[in-house]
């Protein structure tokens, strides 16, 4: 049975590339306007899975995704890392020297700044990368180009004028698949959770010692403001391993005793 997979953006968004990497090209795509819409689609059974970006190698963590992971009772099912490579695309027959205006998501435009400065065109931020490509195709806008993915050019019948126009080729985004389902235990698992430390001296030090004393490798530790109490923080943690094993069960039991709040977000295979 084909899985319905929700993602944010129009068809051809980089999130759709992540869907294909995780679930294959036979997945049934469900584009959503917002990240919250992706979570809601999974929660309300409109989709079996959702795919959302969680971190970019240049811009850092995507805070909205972390807040939604805390707010919704869904599991992280899998992760994928995708190289983000931008293309300049326009209607068939257009030439590079005829491009006067370029549309795309602000982050994509910033990532291609060096190329776009040399192009000398007017830069107009848009809703998203694929949405800009769709707009040019539907409105038949001559003299205009979009910065988007190779997939977007194929979907909307646009011609690629230049490939790999990003300033830094080491531009990667990590995506998470979310679901009501839990991922089965494997050989290369990681676990994500969020906790709040008690407001006492040394609380965070003691909690980190829970993992250090058991030689559990933390691959991420990041604080975010609590949405319920001003000037208090929650901590997002990734560690190598699966709670199905006794040593990780012990660590989580002790964490629940020492922390003010703990929520397991999911255990899933580490991305290659």
H or E element in which residue 87 lies? strand 87-90
Q: Determine which one of 14, 39, 175, 235 is catalytic.
A: 175
Tokens (6 digits) for 173: 């985004």
Q: Which residues contact 213 (CB under 8 A, 6 or more apart)?
A: none
First to last CA, the chain: 26
User: How far apart, in whole angstroms, are the C-alpha atoms of residue 74 and residue 43?
Assistant: 7
d(CA 135, CA 66): 30
* DSSP string for residues in 171-221: -EEEEEEEESSPPPP-SSEEEEEEEE--SSTTHHHHHHHHHHTTT--EEEE
Q: Are 146 and 73 in contact (CB under 8 A)?
A: no
Judge whether 175 counts as a catalytic residue.
yes
- 173 catalytic? Reply is yes
CA-CA distance, 44 to 91, in Å (whole number)? 38
Single out the catalytic residue among 65, 129, 173, 191: 173
Distance CA 156, CA 205 (A): 53
Q: What angle do CA 35, 241, 53 make, to 5 degrees?
A: 15
Report, as residue numbers or ranges, the catalytic residues. Answer: 173, 175
């Amino acid at each position: 049975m084909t899985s319905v997979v929700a993602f944010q953006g129009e068809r051809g968004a980089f999130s759709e590339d992540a869907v294909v990497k995780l679930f294959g090209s036979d997945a049934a795509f469900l584009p959503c306007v917002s990240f919250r819409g992706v979570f809601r689609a999974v929660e309300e059974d409109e989709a079996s899975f959702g795919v959302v970006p969680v971190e970019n190698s240049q811009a850092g963590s995507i805070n909205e995704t972390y807040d939604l992971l805390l707010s919704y009772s869904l599991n992280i099912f899998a992760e994928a890392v995708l190289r983000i490579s931008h293309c300049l695309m326009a209607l068939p027959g257009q030439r590079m020297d005829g491009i006067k205006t370029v549309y795309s998501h602000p982050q994509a435009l910033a990532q291609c700044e060096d190329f776009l400065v040399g192009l000398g065109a007017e830069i107009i931020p848009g809703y998203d990368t694929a949405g800009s490509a769709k707009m040019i195709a539907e409105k038949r806008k001559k003299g205009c180009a979009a910065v988007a993915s190779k997939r977007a050019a194929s979907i909307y019948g646009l011609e690629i004028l230049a490939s790999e126009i990003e300033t830094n080729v080491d531009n990667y985004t990590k995506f998470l698949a979310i679901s009501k389902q839990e991922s089965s235990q494997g050989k290369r698992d990681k676990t994500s959770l969020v906790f709040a430390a008690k407001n006492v001296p040394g609380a965070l030090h003691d909690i980190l010692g829970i993992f250090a004393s058991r030689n559990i490798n933390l691959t991420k530790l990041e604080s975010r403001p609590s949405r319920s109490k001003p000037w208090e923080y929650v901590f997002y943690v990734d560690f190598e391993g699966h709670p199905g094993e006794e040593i990780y069960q012990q660590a989580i039991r002790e964490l629940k005793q020492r922390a003010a709040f703990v929520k397991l977000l999911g255990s899933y295979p580490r991305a290659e």
